[in-house]
Structure 1
Amino acid sequence: MRTTLEIRLHAFLERFFPERRLFLRSDTDTRFIRLRPSTQLIAFVGSTLIVAWTIVATAILLMDSIGSGNFREQAKRDQQTYELRLNEMSAERDARTSEALAAQNRFNTALQQISVMQSQLLESETRRRELETGIEVIQATLRRTMKERETALAELKSRESQQDKNGTALAANSLLGNDMLGILSEALAETALERDQVIADAQAALHDAEEARLDLALMEEKNEQIFRQLEDAMTVSVEPLTKMFTAAGLDTKTLMEEVRRGYSGQGGPMMPISFSTSGGDLTPEAQRANRLLDQMDQLNMYRIAAETAPFANPLKSAFRYTSGFGMRWGRMHKGTDFAARYGTPIHATADGVVVHADWLSGYGRLIKIKHEFGIETRYAHLAKIRVKEGQRVSRGELIGDMGNSGRSTGTHLHYEVRVNGRAVNPMTFIKAGRDVF
């Protein structure tokens, strides 16, 4: 038995959805279907929901299409700006490198000139000492000769005082004294000439030593300027690289140790220099030069590390980011997705060795590249693989084409970076490299 509430509800529905009957007639029979108010209400609500869902879905698709167009234009402008900035940074880096090489050449030339000047100064000092020794010998000889002359004159006077002897003996004595005086006069004249020559040579040596000191002072001033230019160039070149590796989360100290171990067979760090003539401790200039050589060695190791770490972008043509690193739909997304046209070239982001180039489960066509420092990069969902396992590749080398293979909902590249087997955000490396490359 129907309750009062059901009766009232049925009467209320009858006002908007009166009961209807659909007659179905055949040749021999006639039947009808009764549409109750509740049935009509259910059909009306279902139709309304379907129409509303269709309108909302259409609006979402239109908005997404408009937003995607604007985003593509913005991505294209950002890509052009990034390429322009990249070219400017490359030109500036090349200019700084040229300046550093030119400064290093000037520094080497200055070192050679300093060595020559020091040798000349030592030779002048040795010559001056020899001349001083000669002057002392000549003076000693001169004093001895003067003493001998005085002795001879005294003896001559004593002989001349003996007036009681015969004239023959007196004449012989006078002739002997005259011969002695002649010999002494010639010896004194020769000694005076040698003394004057020694004095002149000593003055010339002192003049040469003074000129050598002036030239050495000028050379030291030039060296100071070269040192400052080299130090400024090293600061400008090393600091951005240090910031790049730090921003990527890499320990620069550990990084340098690994590079030094891996490349010790190709020269390793530069050897300290020494141009001390006394063989003792290094001068401040030599220590300063050694610090510059250490910075040059550090810059060279940074360059090697930068080539073998994935700081580049895997795409060089227009693209847009479709999904980042992190949680997505309740699951961890271990890479970054780049969407572009089917067949877009994919490039290696650093030097390395291909360790996988084949189909792998949900990745589809996948390339794995092993880099230095325990870093590995992955390029998934490719349409075509252009490298082979075991092949060595360089930064920027073409390795494949973008596709839609594996578990994928559209054409895109899934790009991963793993450090010691742990997935990290690839954009950390890409953003860090934008300030340098």
Structure 2
Amino acid sequence: MAAPVFEEIDPVSDCDCPGCVHWRRVLPPSPAGRTAGHPAAHRALAVAAAASAALGAGHAVPALAVPHAPVPPVVPAGEEPDTPQGGTAPLHGLGGQAATPTGVVETPWTTRAEIIARARTWVAAQVPYSMDAYWSDGYRQDCSGFVSMAWNLPGNEWTGSLQQYGVRISKEELQPGDILLFHNPSDPRNGSHVVIFGGWTDHTRTSYLAYEQARPHTRRQITPYAYWNSSGRYVPYRYRGITAGSAGSQPDPGASPSAGAFPGAVYFGPGANNPYVTRLGRMLVARGGGRFYRLGPGPRWSDADRRATQAFQQAQGWRGAAADGLPGPLTWELLVTGQGRDIPAQAGGTPSSHGVPGYPGRALFRPGADNAYVTQLGRQLVKKGFGTYYRTGPGPRWSEADRRNVEAFQRAQGWRGGAADGYPGPETWRRLFS
């Protein structure tokens, strides 16, 4: 049986139901004399007839063929994201040839860190947006293909099928790796969109870090909740295959910043003992937080970690719950990328709780540094009998003489190798001023 020919019908000018308003915008004028009837109903009948012909006898779609059937509210096309998408499809192999689908719906196990890490690979590569092209990993270069890739799905899904791989959650439950999905049944290919949630930007939860595939290429940017437009129609979902991960599936805590996705709040706070705490501490020390540590950062969470984190958050101008001393996605993002403001030096060398001047941080003792703490360090070295290499006396500009004097002091503690590199760390500072 031949499929019926589609016949577009001009909307009647005085009908303001959502369906007619939509088709009045997007349909071209039809031949003269075709002005009667209800456009939303005619369109539904045409879609139903085509579906019946494609499926064969006995597969009619009566729900779509009912005139004046309820139509969900439609947002004007001009306000939708310009992200047309393809449908479900298998991964594409070399040369663009479609791989053979397995026919099995799979939800491979993955971690939140791995989801964000995969999303970052497309951001770094600035993958161009296209609903017809496939990236080298086999995933389609549109918004739903991007999520399929980040979730490590066995094929390319679209906004009409992604929800079967997830569980609907509330806004309060959102965590990095979850998605915000808008599937518009009235215009599914052109009016739908999906983004990956990367974490809240602050305690107000009015904006978040979004990873998305949109024109002209994959991007990561702070986005108002739930999205720039059609905000009320985005639904949060969590991937069904999320796992806390094991030693073999977590990213290397010592990896480069580009691979440093926020591991999750569970890794920080009282009782935490893991490599991420060590990495956090080292990043905080590098940003001026060394004075909070007596023995240097380690894997067991301590009050020093909390105080250093809080000082960094306050340096960004955050207050209240946004500066609670526990790292969130944005705190971590600023630390691993080297962005944001450093922890300010402690004015006047105010003694810390353990009786010595607060360690101001490694950043103040390096080539090119010029500050009062270098002078303070030099004078204490001379006082302790380690000023041999000064020819003109300690001053505010860091010099090779400062480094060699610090190295001599460190070697006097019995340290060797990297522990005696001539650059004062928290323990060098503590022993020097104690």
TM-score range, shorter chain: under 0.3
If asked which structure has higher relative contact order (CA below 8 Å, sep 6+), I would say 1
TM-score by length of structure 1 reads 0.24
Q: Which has the higher helix share?
A: 1
* Structure whose residues are more often strand by fraction: 1
- Normalising by structure 2, we get a TM-score of 0.24
